[in-house]
Structure 1
Amino acid sequence: MESMTPDAVTRQAFDAAVAATVLEASGVEKSYRRGIWPLRRSQQVLRGADLRLAPGEVVGLVGENGSGKSTLMKILVGALTPDAGTVSVAGKLGYCPQEPVVYERLTCDEHFELFARAYGLSADSEHRARRDLYETLGFERYAGSRADQLSGGTLAKLNLALALLPDPDVLLLDEPYAGFDWDTYLKFWQLVEQRRQAGRAVLIISHFVADEERFDRIVQLREGRTT
């Protein structure tokens, strides 16, 4: 049997680590301009944040309000451009923002159809996913209801379902619990566990973590840096 040199072993370990990463952010920096001229100033929110997700990993990103959690999330999904640093994602990405991105005059069914087209899903795939998500989250009776007629809790379910629709390899959730009742909260964690078992990565942003044992890791964001 051929022996491996230390350099070869190190390289093999590095290649395995890279292959096992579905999302990686390195040295992310972001500043905002505040105020009006001539008193305008720059406020740095992120100062070199790093983050890595592996398949089947459930990670919590926590920090105080204003710590830059949502800014980092928007950079991860491509909604914001960082001032410095890199972000790479392997596979499909699903994003559940803190504020639902919905169209008031469209029904739940119409939202599924619209987002499915954006994701490039076939009609059969969209129908199956829609049926399963309605059943799992328990809001099928609102399929024909417009978004502006939904309660906050049902709107939160629709927001989550649209992020889950393409069965993403990486699911990013920004304060997903808002508006959930206890039953929906438990269903949410069942969904997260199913994704873990299927080898899907989940990142959950929150200003606090109540059920730490449900996470594989907790990442703290303080003063613009992750620890």
Structure 2
Amino acid sequence: MGLGGNSSSDKGSGLVLAASGISKAYRQGVWPLRRRNQVLDGASLSIRSGEVIGLVGENGSGKSTLMQILVGALSADTGAVDLHGSLGYCPQRPVVFERLTCDEHFELFGVAYGMPRDERAAAQLRLYEELDFKRYAAERADRLSGGTLAKLNLALALLPDPSVLLLDEPYAGFDWDTYLRFWDLVAARRGSGRAFLVISHFIADEERFDRIIQLREGKAVQK
């Protein structure tokens, strides 16, 4: 898998992420009954600044595999991924430290992102307000409800204001109010050119998306 640099034509088109010909197979079982399970077979997609794209597919269709390849957590057998800008990732399962508070998570991730302290503090406060969980700022992660943990998980991915944000089932643990807050947050950021790729088993509010891509037989198909 290749990770390409910026080109002048891509900048002009507003392209922030492009994946081409992504294939990935796993070998299952034990010899002599081992078989090859082709999960992705030449899947391609592109994302431009300001776009909100949905990625859907049945269980086992390769959605999470493709997402992990896009963020560099998994190597593809063939294909290339070109990133133009900064990348944020919100995994389905929160990546947190049980004994750290929400505030401590923001501080830790801010350092990891290389953010100046004042910039991190301002972004932290804004995310607390947008997702309505500032009252849990001093609460340890292992004492948070599932919904609040999902808010923290999303907020940590949004903290450095990435050019494109990849979200794996981001609102699975949200109540209705938080679900609406999530879409308000997306609308505000896409207005400044940020792009979003949202993975979900199904998409109810199709009008919120610019495009919906379906993974079918290992390929990405415009729905």
| TM-score, structure 1 as length reference | 0.91
Corresponding position: 1:121 with 2:97: no
| Structure number having the greater strand percentage | 2
Aligned position for 1:212: 206
Give the number of equivalent residue pairs: 214
Is 1:41 aligned to 2:35, yes or no? yes
Q: 1:152 aligns with which of 128, 146, 157?
A: 146
| Cα deviation digits, residues 131-152 of structure 1 (max 9, x gap) | 0000110101111111110000
What amino acid maps onto 1:77 in structure 2? Answer: V
Q: Which amino acid aligns with 1:159?
A: N
Q: What displacement does 1:40 show? A: 2.3
Alpha-carbon distance, 1:195 to partner? 1.4
Distance 1:126 1:136 in 2: 15
* 2:65 is the alignment partner of 1:68: no
Cα distance in 1 for residues equivalent to 2:10 and 2:33: 50
Partner of 2:190, secondary structure, is: helix
Cα distance in 2 for partners of 1:193, 1:153 equals 21
Among candidates 164, 174, 181, match of residue 180 of structure 1: 174
Q: Identical aligned pairs, as a percentage?
A: 69
SS at structure 1 position matched to 2:212: strand
Query: What secondary structure does 1:172 align onto?
Result: strand
Q: Which structure 1 segments of 5+ residues have no match?
A: 1-13
Deviations, residues 169-188 of structure 1 (Å, cap 9, x unaligned): 00100001111000000000
Cα shift at 1:17: 7.6
Residue 93 of structure 1: aligned partner: 87
Select 1:82's aligned residue among 45, 70, 76: 76
- After the TM superposition, which residues 135-146 of structure 1 pair with which residues of structure 2 at under 5 Å, given as runs? 135-146=129-140
Distance 1:42 1:147 in 2: 40
**Equivalent runs, 1:52-63 vs 2, <5 Å:** 52-63=46-57
- What SS class does the counterpart of residue 23 from structure 2 fall into? strand
Matched, 1:196 2:190: yes
Partner of 1:26: 20
How far, CA to CA, are the matches of 1:16 and 1:207 in structure 2? 30
The CA RMSD measured in Å over matched residues stands at 1.3
Larger radius of gyration: 1
CA offset at residue 42 of structure 1? 1.8
